[in-house]
């Protein structure tokens, strides 16, 4: 399996995406912002199609749109935590724009380009070039580094925004930076598992980790580990059964881990620490 | 792009254009279906926004895609797939999110259900080896192929759904505004929650047939969100929500008929414009 170049590329990129999604996802679930992640995944779709319709680099559209989208979602809400109605309204329209770009793109471009929409929606992890792999690893490292830099104040602000603000933690700008970070990770994951499925890597491993432990660092490690395991198991199964699309297996594995964690008795009560 | 290139079908004569809009059976069916869908989405969407369940609504709308693709693979009617999948999705959401006590737990559960639904949908599409254009219309809708039978089925499903909401409206409102007090007063909050998710699932399955799975959400959330900004009174709010949903659907269908761009783009854009105006005006 490892002799195949496309498989090595998929494993390296998948691991980078998995770790970034798992770590950022832990905070997304803690802050109850999975819906914002969902919205950003759809913004990624529109951004990529806009870039395709306008003839600029796909990746520029992808990252530009999601990072801007993250800041917009944060800016609209109180304390950079937008309520779900505002998010829903905004991204319903974003999707509509995506449809327009898809129509423009498929009428202007050649017929073979019709597959681009599907690629953006569902990913193409087995079709990555060496340059793609390098970019994804660098971006994942950047995302993890930013997260590590803001992790402590972000944790404080997420658990008790009022007290954190009184102590001088910049709660609002932290929220904005965090949503921009979610945007970055969303764009990164779109290239691997597609815009529609990245929620599986963002929410499911983190949800399982939150269920199993209330300790922040243990939770982060578990979440990253679960996401990584989902990617590896998913890619292996997709290699063995070529009928099944890789993104489906990756996400199904992540959800299976989540379901298993939910059926276990909570360890949180045993290991809960009082902050 | 000049307006004349976008609206190729329009000859800028109001009476003549309006007559042309309803001249063909396919357009009559589309308008009738759009009307039924808009009324249902307006009413149910109002409660969805009140209960802050937009995420659940969006997840159910993506379940519709799974249902349609599964029906395509199994060779059963697509409509059956829509209703079955959305019903199953509602039950799964209710089971996974538990008692709605913890916001972060509910959000992770909803996200996981959604991811699984989409992953399965993509699997069915890949196994089916269908045409890409099929996938596009599943996701983004089409109003060209609405048949008379489809309109009848829509009506037959929408009427009891709305009647159910009307019967349960009072306790549902109570349970949505203050679940703890409602529970203490003897209202079965959890049962109502499950019932509402099922109603939401049915509405989504209806709407998805016209707007496609990805755009259902625009009709559910946007007119309702605008209505909540305009008035806080329940009856007036539901009325405004329905009126806006109807206006959005009719305008969107008309614009799509006369223009070269897809109906999904027009409906979402008109809806968003309405919301922006409501937000600016209040």
pLDDT at A80 over 50: no
pLDDT at A272 over 50: no
C-alpha angle B20/B23/B29, rounded to 5°? 120
Q: Which of residues 123-182 of A touch B (CB under 8 A)?
A: none
C-alpha angle A50/A54/A55, rounded to 5°? 115
- A255 part of contact set with chain B, CB < 8 Å: yes
Rounded distance between C-alpha atoms, residue B157 and residue B141, angstroms = 19
Residue in this structure with the two tokens 């922006």, named with its chain if needed = B276
Amino acid A107: pLDDT: 64
Rounded distance between C-alpha atoms, residue A44 and residue B191, angstroms = 37
Amino acid B109: pLDDT: 86
> For chain B, which domains are there?
13-281 (1.10.3470.10)
**Smallest Cα distance from B186 to chain A, Å:** 29
Rounded distance between C-alpha atoms, residue A42 and residue B68, angstroms = 20
pLDDT at A59 over 90: no
User: Considering Cα of A10, then A13, then A16, then A19, what sign does the dihedral take?
Assistant: negative
The conformation of residue B261, written as its DSSP 8-state character, comes to S
Residue from the list A32, A35, A99 with its beta carbon closest to the beta carbon of B54: A35
Cβ contact, residue pair B225, A88, below 8 Å: yes
**Chain A, nearest residue to B222 by Cα:** A89
pLDDT at A223 over 90: yes
Choose from A73-82, A88-97, A204-213 the range with maximum mean pLDDT. A204-213
8 A C-beta contact, residue B140 and residue B264: yes
Rounded distance between C-alpha atoms, residue A220 and residue B86, angstroms = 33
R_g (Cα) of chain A, nearest Å: 18
pLDDT at A124 over 80: no
Residues of A in contact with B230 (CB under 8 A): none
Instruction: Please state at what angle helix B216-230 crosses helix B189-211, rounded to 10 degrees.
Output: 120
pLDDT digits over A135-182, tens only? 889 999 999 999 999 999 999 888 888 888 888 888 888 888 999 999
**Beta carbon pairs, A and B, within 8 Å:** 181
User: Considering Cα of B166, then B168, then B170, then B174, what sign does the dihedral take?
Assistant: negative
**Chain B, nearest residue to A96 by Cα:** B265
Q: Which of residues 4-63 of A touch B (CB under 8 A)?
A: 29-35, 37-38, 42
**Chain B, nearest residue to A113 by Cα:** B132
Rounded distance between C-alpha atoms, residue B83 and residue B159, angstroms = 15
Cβ contact, residue pair B261, A103, below 8 Å: yes
- A71 part of contact set with chain B, CB < 8 Å: no
Rounded distance between C-alpha atoms, residue A259 and residue B68, angstroms = 25
CA dihedral of A61, A65, A68, A73, whole degrees rounded to 10: 180
Residues of B in contact with A248 (CB under 8 A): 119-120, 122-123, 126
The per-residue pLDDT string of chain B (282 residues; one tens digit each, 9 = 90 and over) reads: 456 566 666 666 667 777 777 777 888 888 888 899 899 999 999 999 998 888 888 889 888 888 888 888 888 887 888 889 999 999 988 887 765 556 777 888 888 888 888 888 888 877 876 554 566 666 666 666 778 888 888 899 899 999 999 999 999 998 888 888 888 888 888 888 899 999 999 888 888 877 777 677 888 899 999 999 899 899 999 999 999 999 999 998 888 888 878 888 888 899 999 998 998 887
Give the distance, in angstroms, between the CA of residue B210 and the centroid of all CA atoms in the same chain. 9
Tokens of A269: 């009560």
**Smallest Cα distance from B57 to chain A, Å:** 10
**Smallest Cα distance from B272 to chain A, Å:** 6
Tokens of A154: 């972000």
Amino acid A209: pLDDT: 92
Amino acid B5: pLDDT: 63
**Residue A174: which of A79, A98, A255, A54 has the closest Cα?**
A79
Q: If DSSP states are collapsed to H, E and C, what string results for chain A?
A: CCCCHHHHHHHHHHHHHHHHHHHHHHHHHHCCCHHHHHHHHHHHHHHHHHHHHHCCCHHHHHHHHHHHHHHHHHHHCHHHCCCHHHHHHHHHHHHHHHHHHHHHHHHHCCHHHHHHHHHHHHCCHHHCCHHHHHHHHHHHHHHHHHHHHHHHHHHHHHHCHHHHHHCCCCHHHHHHHHHHHHHHHHHHHHHHHCCCCHHHHHHHHHHHHHHHCCCHHHHHHHHHHHHHHHHHHHHHHHHHCCCCCHHHHHHHHHHHHHHHHHHCCCCHHHHCCCC
Cβ contact, residue pair A89, B96, below 8 Å: no
The mean pLDDT of chain A is 82
- A260 part of contact set with chain B, CB < 8 Å: no
**Smallest Cα distance from A15 to chain B, Å:** 19
**Chain B, nearest residue to A97 by Cα:** B265
pLDDT at A220 over 80: yes
Residue from the list B112, B214, B265 with its beta carbon closest to the beta carbon of A100: B265
**Residue A58: which of A15, A93, A101 has the closest Cα?**
A101
Percent of chain A with pLDDT over 90: 23
Residue from the list B58, B135, B140 with its beta carbon closest to the beta carbon of A99: B140
8 A C-beta contact, residue B262 and residue A100: yes
pLDDT digits over A11-45, tens only? 898 899 999 999 999 999 998 888 888 888 888 88
Cβ contact, residue pair B135, A118, below 8 Å: yes
> For chain A, which domains are there?
5-108+129-271 (1.10.3470.10)
Residues of B in contact with A112 (CB under 8 A): none
Residue from the list A88, A115, A204 with its beta carbon closest to the beta carbon of B132: A115
* Spatial CB neighbours of A86, under 8 Å, sequence gap ≥ 6: A73, A76, A77, B225
- A96 part of contact set with chain B, CB < 8 Å: yes
In this predicted complex, what is the ipTM?
Answer: 0.82
| B134 or A126: which leads in pLDDT | A126
pLDDT at A114 over 90: no
Amino acid A45: pLDDT: 82
């Amino acid at each position: 399996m490892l002799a195949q170049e496309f498989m090595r590329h998929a494993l390296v990129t998948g691991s980078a995406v998995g770790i970034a999604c798992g770590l950022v996802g832990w905070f997304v679930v803690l802050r109850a912002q999975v819906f914002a992640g969902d919205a950003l995944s759809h913004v990624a779709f529109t951004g990529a199609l806009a870039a395709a319709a306008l003839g600029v680099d796909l990746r520029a559209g992808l990252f530009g749109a999601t990072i801007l989208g993250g800041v917009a979602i944060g800016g609209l809400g109180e304390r950079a935590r937008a309520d779900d109605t505002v998010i829903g309204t905004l991204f319903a329209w974003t999707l509509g724009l995506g449809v327009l770009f898809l129509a423009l793109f498929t009428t202007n471009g050649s017929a073979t380009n019709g597959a681009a929409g599907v690629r953006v929606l569902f990913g193409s992890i087995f079709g990555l070039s060496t340059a793609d792999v390098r970019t994804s690893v660098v971006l994942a490292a950047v995302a993890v580094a930013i997260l590590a830099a803001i992790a402590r104040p972000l944790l404080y602000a997420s658990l008790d925004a009022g007290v954190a603000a009184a102590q001088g933690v910049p709660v609002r700008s932290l929220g904005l930076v965090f949503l921009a970070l979610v945007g970055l990770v969303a764009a990164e994951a779109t290239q691997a598992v597609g815009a529609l499925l990245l929620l599986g890597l963002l929410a499911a491993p983190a949800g399982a980790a939150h269920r199993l432990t209330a300790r922040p660092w243990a939770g982060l490690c578990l979440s990253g580990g679960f996401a990584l395991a989902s990617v590896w198991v998913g890619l292996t199964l997709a290699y063995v059964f070529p009928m099944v699309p890789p993104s489906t297996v990756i996400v199904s594995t992540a959800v299976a881990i989540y379901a298993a964690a939910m059926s276990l008795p909570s360890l949180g009560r045993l290991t809960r620490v009082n902050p | 792009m000049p307006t004349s290139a976008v609206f190729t079908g329009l000859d800028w004569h109001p009476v003549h254009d309006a007559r042309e809009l309803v001249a063909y059976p396919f357009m009559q069916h589309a308008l009738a279906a759009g009307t039924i869908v808009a009324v249902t989405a307006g009413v149910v969407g109002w409660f969805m926004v009140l209960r802050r369940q937009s995420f659940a609504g969006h997840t159910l709308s993506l379940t519709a895609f799974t249902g349609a693709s599964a029906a395509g693979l199994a060779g059963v009617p697509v409509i059956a797939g829509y209703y079955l999948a959305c019903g199953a999705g509602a039950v799964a959401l209710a089971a996974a999110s538990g008692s709605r006590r913890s916001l972060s737990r509910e959000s992770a559960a909803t996200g996981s259900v959604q991811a699984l639904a989409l992953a399965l949908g993509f699997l069915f599409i890949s196994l089916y080896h269908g045409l890409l254009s099929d996938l596009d219309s599943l996701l983004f809708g089409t109003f060209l192929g609405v048949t008379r039978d489809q309109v009848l089925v829509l009506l037959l499903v929408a009427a009891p759904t709305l009647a159910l909401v009307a019967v349960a409206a009072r306790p549902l409102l109570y349970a949505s505004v203050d679940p703890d007090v409602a529970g203490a007063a003897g209202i079965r909050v959890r049962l109502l929650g499950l019932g509402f998710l099922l109603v939401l699932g049915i509405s989504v399955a209806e709407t998805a047939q016209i707007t496609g799975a990805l755009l259902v959400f625009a009709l559910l959330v946007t007119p309702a969100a605008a209505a909540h900004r305009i008035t806080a009174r329940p009856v007036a709010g539901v009325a405004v929500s329905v009126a806006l949903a109807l206006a959005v659907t009719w305008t969107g269908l008309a614009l799509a008929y006369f223009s070269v761009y897809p109906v999904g783009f027009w409906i979402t854009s008109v809806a968003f414009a309405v919301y922006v105006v409501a937000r600016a005006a209040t």
